[in-house]
Amino acid sequence: MAKILIVDDDPTTSQVVSEHLGRNNHTCTIQRSGKQVIDTLRSDRHDLVVLDVMLPHISGFEICRRVRRDPELYTTPILIMSAMSNEEEVIHGLSQGADDFVSKPFDIPNFLQRIESLLRSSSAGTAMDELTSLPSAEPTKRELQRRVSTKEAFCVAHCELLNLREFGRKYGNEGRNKAVRHLGRALDQCAQELIKDVAYVGHMGGGHFMIMMPGKHMRAYCPWVRKVWSAHIGKLYVSVTGNEKPVDIASGKEKQLDVLFCVASCENKDVVSPQNLFELLSRLRTMAINSKQGGVFMDRRGSTA
C-alpha cells in the first residue's frame, strides 16, 4: 500500500483516479492547486505524486522542477497527466523531472499499471546493487536529476567494460560477474581516494557504470582508473582462467577486457536535463565504439576548462 498525492483541478478526474487507486489499496490525498504541493510533501511524505500540467497558480512542470530541486523530496516519483499529448510536450515533461507521462483521457488499466511500475522502481531504487555493492540504476538516475535540478557544476561519465559479452560467453557468468565487480571496486576506490564524499559511482547494470564529480577531478579520474585497470587486469585473468594473459589474447583471437569512458559536462550551469545528458553520452559512445578501442571520450563544449 502506498500513499499517493493527486494534484488536479478537475474534481471528476481526481476523484476517478483516487477511487481506482483506492481499490488497489492505496491511500490518496487530493489537491486542486499546485500552491501547497511542496509544503504537503514536506509535512507528510508521499510515495508518489500524480500531477496535472494545467493547474491554477503554478503549472505541473514548475512543481516538477521544485520537487527535483528540493534536497528532501527529489527522489519522489512523479507521474504527469496532461490533455496535451504531442511528442514535444511529453519530452518537455520528462525533462522537467517527471518519471512518466500519460495523456488524458487515459486508459485506466494502463494508468494503474504505470503507477505500480513507478512504485516498484522507487522501492527497488533504495537498495544497493547486489553484485557491486554500489548504488543501482534508479538511485543513480535520481542523483543525476538532483544535481541537474540544483544547477550543480559537475561532469558525468558513462563507463563501460568493453568485450564483456564475449568474455562471459567464454568464461561463464561467474567470470563475467567477477570482471564487473573488479571494475566496480576500481571505480569506487579511485573516486574515494580522489574526492571522498563528493564523487558518486553507480552501477547501471551489466558492464555499465555512471560516475559524477567536479570536472577538474573527472579529467584526472578517468585516465587514473584506466591505469589501475591495466595494472590489475592480469590478476583478474589469473583468478578466472589460471593464466595472466590467455593464449587467445596474445594471438589476437580474443579481445582483452578494456575500459571506455564517455564524459559530458554540466559545468557552465546552462539549462540542461538528464535526458540531454543521456543523449549526449549515447552519441559519444557511438563515436567511441566506432574507434574499436577503449579510452576517454570527453565532450568539452560545456566545459569551463
Whether 130 maps to a domain, the answer reads no
State pLDDT tens for residues 169-200.
888 999 999 999 999 999 999 999 998 888 99
Helices (H), 150-195: 164-195
Instruction: Name the grid cell of 121.
Output: 522502481
Grid cell 558518486 is found at 200
- 231 and 170, same structural domain? yes
Residue 20 parent element (H or E): helix 11-23
The residue written with cell numbers 510515495 in the block is 47
| CA nearest neighbour of 91 among 267, 264, 269, 278 | 278
My answer on whether 11 and 119 are in the same domain is: yes
Residue 250: which residues within 8 A CB-CB, separation 6 or more? none
What is the domain-level CATH number for residue 233? 3.30.70.270
Query: What is the overall mean pLDDT for the chain?
Result: 85
One domain, residues 144 and 269: yes
Alpha carbon distance 183, 109 (integer Å):
42
Question: Of 77, 95, 124, which residue sits at a domain end?
Answer: 124
Q: 71: cis peptide before it, omega within 30°?
A: no
Q: Give the pLDDT confidence score for residue 305 in this predicted structure.
A: 36
Q: Domain range holding 70?
A: 3-124
Distance CA 21, CA 18 (A): 5
The last residue of one of the domains, among 93, 124, 155, is: 124
Where residue 69 sits, what CATH number does that domain have? 3.40.50.2300
* Predicted pLDDT at 126: 54
The pLDDT value recorded for residue 89 is: 66
Based on the domain organization, do 144 and 259 belong to the same domain? yes
Residues of the chain with pLDDT below 70 are 85-91, 95, 123-127, 244-252, 268-272, 292-293, 300-305
Q: What are residue 260's DSSP bridge partners?
A: 160, 295
Flag whether 108 is in a domain.
yes
**Residue 183 shares a structural domain with residue 272:** yes
Residues 88 and 159 both lie in one domain: no
Do 31 and 55 touch, CB atoms closer than 8 A? no
Has residue 290 been placed in a domain?
Answer: yes
pLDDT in tens, 22-59: 999 999 999 998 888 999 999 998 999 999 988 988 99
Do 143 and 292 fall within a single domain?
A: yes
Please state, in angstroms and rounded to a whole number, the distance separating the CA atoms of residues 250 and 246: 7
Cell of 235: 590478476
